[in-house]
Chains A and B, each alone.
Chain A
């Protein structure tokens, strides 16, 4: 089977990452990988799984590659809730957590990212000896390098295995579409590196296209401006509609940005036009999913239609659209309702009813309902997604629950153990019974009526 180099960097001197204390070259990256690999190979347990919880993008990148070379596959769950950690622990025996913060990893085996790998510059220089440069590691293309998870519908996280060859091909296809193969950009991402969009558009794109990334994850508008100012032009800002909207509303002074990228939820034309006018740079959106990887892009100001990335095919049976080809692993049914145009482009016309996307985080109502009804003391419960307030606003979930003997505080505490805080219900409404029909089904219209009644006769 063919093998592919870890890095597409033009040379070992090329910058791979920008840290607060200065740039890290591709060569220094390889030296850091080798140092961490040695630690991972001796750290207990020696199983084949690495839960890389590093918040710093560079440390994640070192952990990911060192794990690969030490025979560990990167596990990248959709949430880091205690319930998720327990599931992973049970399903992936011998799992080791790699942490760079005081994140509570429960009692899971843990390795804290060593400070000296990244900080002792003298060691770094010694490690990248020009007489004896580090060798570029080769990774078999068919090797499963990462498993990304979606929340699934049964309460069990659903695993999506990604081979090294397909991951690199995804990064390369995206870089090609954005023109990054001709000119490497410095990437600043506001999204976590573990989740599919951030993984693909910051880490993988830099690996595949020879670019570089800012190690941090700027959050407040002022942080984004500061991070952009640290890296050289051309700069690519990888963000979401939510962060972009906050950035533009804050009206902070931004250094020049050369390219904007948004994903996780469709952006409105108004926000896209505003972003392009403020930054004087083109804005592209990426369409994809954890299951399929990235599939298409569009320049939002030029229209609603999406153009497929190289090699990707979409086919339809009924209202289900399936993606295949290119870097897609097998055949992947999509959660969105799609209208194919004759020229290979498509438009999104809606999503399958069960799917939920809150500020770019995805799950399903079935999953949430499974989690809430699994709480001891809950007799019956249902989550409800109200109709969206506006194209770029955040709509929150509601939940109706039958739980005599429990109060709001107890129930929310139990839910927090199981689901991401973004999905916690607002409001959480206690009822005597859910409006189930004679077959036990709960029509959305019945929940809609309950929700409207609640709005009309709310607590105030």
Chain B
């Protein structure tokens, strides 16, 4: 499956995916406060600092909403979860609903 989605498709998904993350993880912030290109996970000081529990929670809501399963083996998860934009791009390319 191609990941070469039009940038505007991905941009349109950003608010929706941000909302999904904030509500799934019960984060203490507004969806619009998640910078599209800031790292979601890990030690970076400008990112959200989410952890592996969050990854699984997000994977679950993504599979329900967009109808596909995330996998570790054939996908580059570091890249997929590197930012809100990267996650939205992956969803845009894999979604079945």
Give residues in A with beta carbon < 8 Å to B.
218-223, 226, 242-243, 246, 249-250, 252, 358-359, 394, 396, 409, 412-413, 416, 421-422, 424, 426-427, 458-460
Contact = CB atoms under 8 A, between A and B. Distances in A.
B97 interface: no
21 contacts: A218-B72, A219-B72, A220-B56, A221-B60, A222-B71, A223-B71, A223-B72, A223-B73, A226-B71, A243-B56, A246-B56, A249-B60, A250-B60, A394-B57, A396-B26, A413-B43, A413-B45, A424-B49, A426-B26, A426-B28, A427-B28
A412 B50 CA distance: 12
Contacts of B56: 219-220, 242-243, 246
Contact of A458 (B28, B45, B60, B71): B28
Contacts of A396: 26
Contacts of A250: 59-60, 63, 69
Nearest to A360: B53
A460 B31 CA distance: 12
Contacts of A424: 49, 51
Contacts of B28: 426-427, 458-459
B29 interface: yes
| Interface of chain B, main secondary structure | loop
B2 interface: no
A246 B53 CA distance: 10
Contacts of B26: 396, 426
A359 B29 CA distance: 23
Interface string B44-80: 0110010111011101100100000111110000000
A220 B30 contact: no
Interface of B: 26-30, 43, 45-46, 49, 51-53, 55-57, 59-60, 63, 69-73
Given A226-B71, A246-B60, 10 more contacts: A219-B56, A221-B59, A226-B73, A242-B53, A250-B63, A250-B69, A252-B69, A412-B45, A416-B43, A459-B28
A222 B70 contact: yes
Contact of B30 (A242, A394, A427, A460): A460
Contacts of A394: 53, 57
Contacts of A221: 59-60, 63, 69
Contact of B49 (A219, A220, A246, A412): A412
Nearest to A226: B73
B97 to A, nearest CB: 14
A413 B49 CA distance: 9
Nearest to B55: A219
B44 to A, nearest CB: 9
Contacts of B45: 409, 412-413
A409 B46 CA distance: 8
B52 A220 contact: no
A442 B43 CA distance: 31
Contacts of B72: 218-220, 223
A86 to B, nearest CB: 16
A223 B70 CA distance: 8
B84 to A, nearest CB: 18
A252 B26 CA distance: 25
B79 to A, nearest CB: 15
Nearest to B63: A250
B51 A422 contact: yes
A14 to B, nearest CB: 27
B29 A459 contact: yes
Contacts of A459: 28-29
A396 B53 CA distance: 11
Nearest to A422: B51
B69 A220 contact: yes
Nearest to A251: B63
A409 B52 CA distance: 20
Contacts of A242: 53, 56
